Structures are given as structure tokens and as C-alpha cells.
Amino acid sequence: MKQYGHIKKTERLEIGILLKCGYSDQEIADVLGHHRSTIYRERTKNAVNGEYIPAKAQHKAYVNRKYAKYQAMRIVEDMKLREYIETKLLHEEWSPDQVAGRLAREIGLRQVSTPTIYKYIRSPYGRQLEYELDLVKKKRQKSKQKWQRKVTALEDRIFIDERPDAVNDRSQFGHWEADFIVSGKQYGNTSLLVLHERVSRYTLIAKIKARTVREVENVFIEALPLIGNFESLTLDNDIAFQKHVQLSQLIQAPVYFCQPYHSWEKGGVENANKLIRQYVPKSCDIAAYTDREIWDIQHKLNGKPRKILGYQTAKEVFEHYQKETLHV
């Protein structure tokens, strides 16, 4: 089995000799029993002025390890920072990039970069954290099976290519997309109806007993006080949206449809669904989730800082735009 481990001093000597003999990365990997990518990284990362010299490569690797340890120590020695990082990674399930980006907005905490957080996780001081993060990842691993939604002819649809530019370029707040997340085929009809606002990336998740016109209507009736004014709504061609004309009247905004089998056209809610699937795997029984658990998932998604939002949370951006709307 090919190894991804660290290169030893003696192996660097062999790499130097084999390179001079014209061996490729793959051929060197075969000789040393390492993966080709390990040899490639060693050859490029520890080269000096584009030339791989074993003695200099060994020194460079040593310096890099010492520097990585120093970077990790910046977190180890700051208990407040360490607790913040570990809480966000483990309990709120943020990524290292989200943590680093958010630290730049926090007052009273030292700023560290994304690579520094990764170095801490992979250092001897972060081994327990790395182990626990690995357990969290394995717990929410999901099936890669894909499913297709039934498409039924719907009358009087306005298709997505007629949406205004303000929807497509996300320059106007209040344009929403909606989609379903369904239970596994072996279970019942309980589903999630997901609503996603395109500018703020704010997401609402409602558990419904079945994908019916009445259930959909009830969700929008309950969501209206929170959402306020809709500018538009984009849907796919699910039979549950067959009363889209009445739905448009309810929200007092135009309703647009993706082309059949083109669900990717409403990319905002599709991406939100992928994030939700971290907690609600495919082939699961959604009926087994309590309303509180669904709310917790929604709270987590809207409470994570996002790079695309300048490391603000979706909730913060959504509330900002809502306040602006109230003052107009």
C-alpha cells in the first residue's frame, strides 16, 4: 500500500540520486513505497531555486517543522483563543477557514490564519481535537446515491430565464428559492421544505408530513411574518407546486420555475440542501427528527460565518437587510 507519510533523511538522499538518474515522481514513489503526490510535494516544497539538493531539502524540512510548531504554540499558549477555536470547530461545526475569518471580526481575541489553525490541529497539542473532529466527520458521512424528483406538467409557468437581472446577480434582497429534502425510499412521506434567500444566504427549514399543496401553503403562511416582503420565489417542477398561481398571490410576488431536470438553476437552495445533508443524510427517515432538532440545524447554518459574506453570518446579513427594508 502506498504511504502518504513524512520523508526521512535517508529517503531524501535516494530521491536526489534518482532524480539525477532521470526518474519520474511515479518511479521514485514506486522505489520508496510512497504515494506519487508525497514525492511531488517533497520535490517542489523543499527544493531551493528549483533544484532538489538532499542536504538543503533536509534543512528546509526541519525549519518548516519548527515553524509549524511555533505557529501552533500561538494557539496553545492563549487559553481564551484555544477554547474559542475548539468550541467553534467541535460544537458549532465551523471550518478552520470560518474560524479564522471570524476572528478578524472579533474584539479581544488574537487573529490567526487558516493555515495556523490547521497546523495546530495537526500538531501534538491538537491530536485529541483532530481525533474528535474525525469522529464528528464519520458520524455524518452520508450515502452518495442520487435521487430524482417526479416531474409533472404544471400549467402557466414562468421559467427562470425570465427572472430579472437583480435576481441573478444577487443585487436585490428578498428573492427566495425553495426546494424539498425527502426521506429515504423505505420510509414515509415526511420531508423538509427549505427556503433560501439569495443575498443573505439565510435559510428556513420546515418539516412537513408530505409534499402536498396544503402543506406547502401552510409553510408559507407561517413564514410570511418572519420573511416580510417577497420580491420573487423560484421553484422546481414538483407536483406540490401545482398551485403556484395561488402561491404567487399569497406572497404577492412572481414565481419562477427551473427548466425540467435543471434543479441546479436554483443554485442557492441546492447548496443549502448540501449543507443540511451533513445533518440529515440521504436514505434517513426525516420523521425521526424532532422539530427542535430541525431548528437546531437551521440555527447552525444561519449562525456560521461565511467567507462570501465577509465572514458575517447569514443571520446577521438577513437582519441587516430587514432593518433597511423597514426604514425604506
pLDDT number for residue 2: 54
Q: Are residues 251 and 298 in the same domain?
A: yes
pLDDT number for residue 246: 92
CB atoms inside a 10 Å sphere around CB 268: 19
Q: In the chain, what percentage of residues exceed pLDDT 90?
A: 51
Q: What is the CATH number of the domain that holds 190?
A: 3.30.420.10
Q: Are residues 133 and 183 in the same domain?
A: no
Take residue 206 and report the three cell numbers written for it: 420546515
Residue 76 lies in a domain: yes
pLDDT number for residue 139: 58
pLDDT number for residue 76: 83
| Helix locations, the chain, DSSP H | 9-20, 25-32, 36-45, 54-76, 79-90, 96-103, 114-122, 127-139, 165-168, 213-227, 244-251, 267-276, 291-303, 314-327
Average pLDDT of the chain to the nearest whole number: 86
Distances (CA, A) of 147 to 61, 183, 216, 247, 272: 47, 11, 21, 26, 17
Question: Which of 89, 107, 139 marks a domain boundary?
Answer: 139
Residue 9 lies in a domain: no
Question: Which whole number is the average pLDDT over 237-245?
Answer: 90
Q: Are residues 170 and 262 in the same domain?
A: yes
Q: Are residues 169 and 278 in the same domain?
A: yes
Residue 308 lies in a domain: yes
Residue 29 lies in a domain: no
Q: How far apart are the C-alpha atoms of 317 and 296, rounded to whole Å? A: 19
Q: Taking Cα atoms as reference points, which of 98, 137, 135, 92 lies closest to residue 117?
A: 98
Q: Which amino acid is at 250?
A: L
Residue 143 — very low, low, confident or very high, per pLDDT cuts 50/70/90?
A: very low
Q: Are residues 270 and 307 in the same domain?
A: yes
Question: Which of 81, 107, 139 marks a domain boundary?
Answer: 139
Q: Are residues 175 and 269 in the same domain?
A: yes
Q: Are residues 91 and 165 in the same domain?
A: no
> Which one has a higher pLDDT value, 119 or 43?
43
Residue 33 lies in a domain: no
Residue 237 lies in a domain: yes
Q: 87-131: per-residue pLDDT in tens?
A: 999 888 899 999 999 998 988 898 888 888 888 887 777 777 877
User: 186-213 as b/e, with b when 16 or more CB fall inside 10 Å?
Assistant: eeeebbbbbbbbbbbbbbbbbbbeebee
Structural domain span for residue 316: 160-327
